[in-house]
A and B are shown apart, each in its own frame.
Chain A
Amino acid sequence: MPVSTLLATDHALSSRASTTSLRANGGSEQHQEHREATSTVSGPERFLGSRGLTRFSALNRSFNNVANMASDLKRNLEKTAVEVAKAAVNGGGESPPDNTPSPSPQRIVVSRRRVRPTALRQSAASLSHDDDENDGNEHAENMLVTPSKEFVRALSLRVKTQVAATLSDPLRSKQAHHVSPCDEACGTCARCQAAVCTQSSNTKLNDHNPLTKRASIKKRVADISNRLQFPKFLADAQTSHDHGHDHHLMSDDDAQSVGTSSDEMDDRELQELIERQTIVEKYEAGPEGHDVDPWENPDFELYKVTDRYGFVHKNETEAEAQALQNQRNLIKKELQREAKWLRMLQEWDTRHPAKLPERIWKGVPEKLRSVVWQRMLGIDKFRKDAAPKTYEDLLMRARLLSMDIRQIDLDINRTYRDHLAFRRRYDSKQQSLFSVLSAYAMYNTEVGYCQGMSQIAGLFLMYMNEEDAFWCLHSLMVNRKYSMHGMFAPGFPKLHRFEQHYDHVMQRYLPKLHKHFDREGVVPSYLTKWWFGCFLDRVPFALALRIWDVFLYYGDSILIAMAFNIMDLHQKTLKKLPMEKCLDFIQSDLARDFGYSFDHTMQALEKCLKRLQSDKMALPPLPADSKPELPTKQLGPVLTRSMVDIRMDISEVQSRSSRANSALTKNDGRINDTTALLPPDAPPEVRKLYWHLFASYYYMYLDEHRRKEAKN
């Protein structure tokens, strides 16, 4: 099976998964919509909301089903194929059943090293090559054994029927192969192992219940890896020929050597794998899927009033203060402005509207923010330039590989928990936030995930769907107008550059305040928070939105101008305060009550910006070349790897662990499948063949199956 087909099916598969993961939330209604969705505790909305995730877990489950099948395969192939395999291994002795040049038996003597995932990948790549050229000698070092064509055909046929059977009726295929242990229950013979496999696959029937599913993640990992192992008959044929040793003794040796040699790196890798899997499952299961620590969910009783943006306040006075900003006449005004904006948006299709800047300063109407913001960020261009399905492909990979998931999970737990959409742990918007951040961390690998990004992504998600939010985040990072990449990149080069410039601005325009700060020892530590989130959380939310409107229009000069503006507006107050009070004022007082009306603040900001611009002080000098503030590495390097490869690597890590486990806990009934494990010295050719057939048929049939399902 050529790799190209594999990749093609892989793509088809991901597209299927992705179409569902994108909830088409139409712009302005979206906010209202999720408010309803989140306030309804149960009902179909919830499932709609997390359909993408449910779909993904279904996919995962199917993979496990097929993995179950792999264990069946081991048993069924035994009778028919063992001779063929022996023939292939014995090679030189008898005449091989086909014309393929067979290497001499001595070459089969096996190196004891474990085959690393990279080696697997390489050999997989070389296989596709061989298919075309039919010339294995180029890769002589990988070609320890060349299985006969008949063997390949037999294996292929079996895999094919098995995959088909499993996918069309997983329950029956499992029951059909029920096996009881042998009389001695030795645990090592084929029957006993088959029994163990059947047991584990029977317990898998409860998989659909997330609670039982989560019962023991470790056990599940072990189960999967056991079922994904190399066919036992091949191992048998080989070891008996090789040394004539009792095969399970030998595998015990193997297991021990693996167990002791599993160095810290391996442990860490596995640990991370399990951790990642656990976290991903929590988000897949959603808010009711499992035992959320009660204190992880906010106390609903505390909240009484929600403002128009979806934030819940603890007491009514706070909400009243909010309401003051949104008096009736203001809302009336906004309605009128909406009409103007709608006309202007049409104009914008053909040319840049002359009235745009003026209207931006007055604030983008709440209902149109999602459209206007996306337009200003120019996300269509980024989306078009990227490969199709970039987001979905990233998402699938991130769930399996992302190293940032732990930190992302921690931060989602504390991002906008006072907002309706984010208050419920693992609810749909939290799931979206999780997806956007983990996918982006795989895309822009220089930044990965950096604290502060969750607020930004959260803000976008209040106005748009997952994928749009992803591209908005990306544009914000790499679009030269904003280049927030430099803010979040290691060492924060842009932060330092802007900090220096801000100091110049203060010295020049507010010398007295600057002096006061100097004397008091007020360090500009507040700038990090101000700039990373463009004043989110440090000014009232409604004002932050207005700042974002102009920020997205004018770009990063707003960061300096607004910082200057705040200092300018509040200089009298600040000059009287000692250091501690200054910082308190900046970090909490302003967020509670900014002290000026938002319109006034925005007018002042416009003046500040114009003043800085006319003095050529709006932006610091461009960065020195030594510290690039835009990505220098390729975006989304992980996209070049197929899902098959990734799955193979993961099962490699898992099997390492189960080998180590079985060496350590040999008498533990859970994992006593030592002899069935892929021997560390299995010829790469056989390994890769096995995997290849397995993976390709899996994807082909899965695809077909889904198509049928869709028809029904």
Chain B
Amino acid sequence: MEAGTSDSPVFKVVLLGEGAVGKSSILLRYIENKFNNKHLSTTQASFATRKLTVNGKTVELNIWDTAGQEKYHSLGPIYYRGSQGAMLIYDITDTRSFERIKNWVRELQEVLKGTATLLVVGNKVDLDATRQIQRETAEEYAKSVGALYAECSAKENIDIDALFETITKAMMAKASEVSTLNRGASLRRSTSRRTIQVSDDTDTEAAPKKKCC
């Protein structure tokens, strides 16, 4: 593996969810530690990278932010294809946005077949007073689809870093599992040619099923 400028493994993470649930805000808070409420709507998926050290290992995250409007759903595959992780973000004060992530989960499970770590994220916990989706409900749902669960607030900077740490840990665990089992990491070639521990092997469908911490 030739990881471009650095030797650290690269993970691709995609942010999905309905419009205005705070995908771009989470990204902005994580990358620049800013909360800019007048940000532009994301029509082109924007892209950011960040290095972080987890369990003494440095990894690089390539984070893709996507447009939230339902109409852009059909462009989704361009972004989530080949990603090792997906954050499914909803707004805890908006039932509709929670329903929307269920669609994403279904689609990801079908297309990526468990190769990606899913993290369901309830954003805007600062608005707990008007909460519509109870934590238990969401947690239960996440469990039922083999996804992780976390809550955060981009506005108040609550647990944003933890979010990315959680998903990175899970992705690393999954990657090492894949490599030790010497399964062809069916992680794509085209977009992320620099995937982690790619062992060239025949294609395998039987990628490890759900794995959570």
Contact = CB atoms under 8 A, between A and B. Distances in A.
Contact of A451 (B41, B49, B62, B194): B41
B136 to A, nearest CB: 23
A37 B4 CA distance: 53
B37 A295 contact: yes
Interface string B129-144: 0000000000000000
A578 B43 contact: no
Contacts of B4: 578-579
B41 A454 contact: yes
A584 interface: yes
B79 interface: yes
A274 to B, nearest CB: 14
Contacts of A452: 43
By CB atoms of chain A within 10 A, which of B39, B71, B72, B78 has the most? Answer: B71
A121 interface: no
Given A451-B69, A580-B49, A417 B38 contact: yes
B38 A451 contact: no
A521 interface: yes
Interface in B50-64: 62
Interface string A14-52: 000000000000000000000000000000000000000
A302 B43 CA distance: 26
Interface in A414-429: 414-415, 417-418
Contact of B71 (A418, A451, A526): A451
A583 B47 contact: yes
Contacts of A411: 19, 41
A533 B43 contact: yes
Contacts of B155: 295
Given A407-B69, A450-B69, A525-B78, A414 B47 contact: no
Contact of B43 (A413, A528, A579): A528
Interface residues of B, number: 31
Nearest to A527: B44
A413 B20 CA distance: 10
A448 B69 CA distance: 12
Contact of B193 (A410, A488, A521): A521
A529 interface: yes
B38 A414 contact: yes
A622 interface: no
A525 B79 contact: yes
Interface size bucket, A side? 35 or more
B43 A532 contact: yes
Contacts of A528: 43-45, 75
Interface in A452-472: 452, 454
A537 interface: yes
Given A578-B5, A579-B4, A414 B41 contact: yes
B44 A451 contact: no
A451 B42 CA distance: 8
Nearest to B82: A521
A415 B193 contact: no
A523 interface: yes
Contact of B20 (A410, A578, A584): A410
Interface string A463-503: 00000000000000000000000001011100000000000
A414 B190 CA distance: 33
Contacts of B20: 410
Interface string A285-298: 00000000001101
Contact of A410 (B41, B45, B62, B78): B41
Nearest to B79: A525
A408 to B, nearest CB: 11
B49 A519 contact: no
A415 B193 CA distance: 36
Interface in A312-334: none
Contacts of B213: none
A529 B19 contact: no
B43 A451 contact: yes
10 contacts: A407-B69, A410-B41, A418-B38, A492-B74, A492-B75, A523-B78, A525-B45, A529-B43, A578-B4, A580-B49
Interface of B: 4-5, 19-20, 37-41, 43-47, 49, 62, 67-69, 71-72, 74-75, 78-79, 155, 190-194
